[in-house]
A and B are shown apart, each in its own frame.
Chain A
Amino acid sequence: MIEQPTLGELWASRDLFRDPILAATAAGTILGWLGVYVVLRRMVFVAAAVSQAAALGVALAFYAQIHLATDVSPVLGAVSLTFLVSLLFMLDPLRLRITRESILGLAFVFAGGSAVAIGDRISQEAHEIGSILFGTAVLVRTFDLWLILILASLLLIGHIWTTRGMLLSSFDPDAARVQGLPIRLLDAFLFLSVGAMVAVATRALGALPVFAFTVLPAMAALAIGGRLWFVLILSACLGALSGGLGYVLAFMRDLPVGASQTIVAACWVGAALLVRLLIPRVGGLLGR
């Protein structure tokens, strides 16, 4: 019988695992916070579209290196394409007579298809693309950790500061516009925040857990209910716990890290729905 690792062993190896746990916890926190707006605005596939855009950016960078002899950093390529796609999300879908969901779909399939097509021309770098894009979450480079910590901190401060504006623009965007709030600027800040954080976190942790952090903690927090502040903080906490506990669970049960973090995040949704069904007024009690 194979012995499962213990918490003591995890603690003993803390120098090795500290960075990925910290990275996942920080990314889970800010993605949990941003995820509330993503879910409220019906844009849950934004993370999927952004990670495909990052893939295209990396593929383009390698293509430029191999075929055009131009030194472009793959990370720069990923971030640039992510920002371009984030700008696409800022278009007013009503003026284009389409839905925002379909813009997400367009970004997803175009970026995904182009990444595969360009990837076909640079097959010798395919493994590296996979590593740069989707990470492994087992080990995180120091540079990626610091990038996540700094970006997450800046975005958290920015979003705490703009919460009231975000609330009004999410609840009643027309009234917000009439009252002179800079709606386009707020939208840009939100989309660029999601784009930047998803791109950076995907690189370090992998696409699946990043998608999970962006959607599942927010779903759980919104199911519990209460005031927006309570929902945002709860979602950020659940995102952080998904990242940290997911890593511990992966270590203890010898599971793939990204999958383990995703399962933990999904468990919050299950628990929240159960609480909501058993205690319908829970949001009113907790959120005051």
Chain B
Amino acid sequence: MNTAGHKSLSTRELVVGYDGNGILPPIDLTIERGSIWVVLGRNGAGKTSWMRTVLGLLPAVSGQVTKAPGTRLAYVPQRQVLDPIVPVRAADVVAMGAEHGLSFLKPFGKVLREKVTSALAEMGIDDLSNKPFRDLSEGQKQKVLLARCIAGGPDIVFLDEPMATMDIVAEREVLGLIQDLRQRRGTTVVIVAHHLQVAANLADGVLFVDKDAQTVCAGTPREVFEHSSFRHRYGDLAMGLFKDMQQ
């Protein structure tokens, strides 16, 4: 799918922070439709704050977030914030993705049921449909949450640390599914991650944020990895990964 040149989301002079105090310098960024962006930075660097601001969950200190009218967003938070006490099956979680606005007031009809079934099938987790969400492994939970995104047919998916606490096999599976999401559906994906490797291998663009050094930089993975502020924080670690990728 050729989606180059179509703007999916942009931020202009966006300052994120709390109680009117910015925690990062202003961020100008344009994310093209169908691209994968990875937001990098160390713990507490401001990655999740940036994502929550772009999603409208946190008020911006100043600046603008622009997206095309009618753009559908989906958000997968860190799995540990999902309440394990809430009694839901995997299929219930997937069905939640199909809700938009006041849709929950209408009956859950055949079309929506089919969306849930096909989303579960696309993620290869039909067999988990009736299992309680809380009983699933971390990798299975992430697949269910990706299926939830698919059920809603979003234009942009935001994933907050989707590979956290996963084993290497589950991590690879989830990364593969994220790539599929972009390739098959042309969905724009924005991932908050700690894995430099993910950025090197998967991303079209990287946003690096560093609250302590008060720096941000955005660009292709190579551009960001070569940036002085990034190298100041990570040294040559990332370039090593990048060379591996080139071999």
Q: Taking beta carbons and an 8 Å cutoff, which residues of A are in contact with B?
A: 40, 161-165, 167-168, 170-172, 174-182, 222, 225-228, 230-231, 283-284, 287-288
Contacts and interface: CB of A to CB of B under 8 A. Distances in A.
B83 A164 contact: no
Contacts of B89: 227
B96 A178 contact: no
Contacts of B101: 179-182
A92 to B, nearest CB: 11
A270 B52 CA distance: 42
Contacts of A40: 83, 85-86
Interface string B61-97: 0000000000001111100011101111100110111
A284 B77 CA distance: 26
Contacts of B152: 179
Contacts of B102: 181-182
18 contacts: A40-B83, A40-B85, A161-B105, A164-B96, A168-B99, A171-B86, A172-B81, A174-B52, A175-B75, A175-B77, A177-B57, A178-B57, A178-B73, A179-B99, A181-B104, A222-B87, A227-B87, A228-B86
Interface string B151-167: 01000001000000000
A178 B55 contact: yes
A154 B130 CA distance: 32
A170 B92 CA distance: 13
Given A179-B99, A179-B152, A172 B92 contact: no
Contacts of A283: 87, 132
Nearest to A186: B104
A167 B86 contact: yes
Nearest to B82: A172
Contact of A178 (B74, B81, B104, B105): B74
A288 B130 contact: yes
A230 B130 CA distance: 14
Nearest to B91: A227
Interface residues on B, range: 20 to 34
B90 to A, nearest CB: 11
A162 B104 contact: yes
A226 B87 contact: yes
Contacts of A162: 104-105
Contact of B83 (A165, A171, A226, A231): A171
B96 A167 contact: yes
A284 B133 CA distance: 11
Residue of B81, B93, B100, B104 most packed against chain A (CB within 10 A)? B104
Given A164-B99, A179-B100, A171 B88 contact: yes
A32 to B, nearest CB: 15
Contacts of A231: 87
B63 to A, nearest CB: 19
Contacts of A179: 73-75, 97, 99-101, 152
Contacts of A172: 77, 81-82, 96
A175 B132 contact: no
A227 B92 contact: yes
Contacts of B105: 161-162, 165
A232 B109 CA distance: 21
Contacts of B234: none
Interface string B178-214: 0000000000000000000000000000000000000
Given A165-B105, A171-B83, A227-B87, A177 B56 contact: yes
Given A174-B75, A178-B73, 11 more contacts: A161-B105, A162-B105, A164-B95, A170-B86, A171-B93, A172-B77, A174-B77, A181-B99, A181-B101, A225-B132, A287-B87
A13 to B, nearest CB: 41
Contacts of B81: 172, 174
Contact of A165 (B74, B87, B104): B104
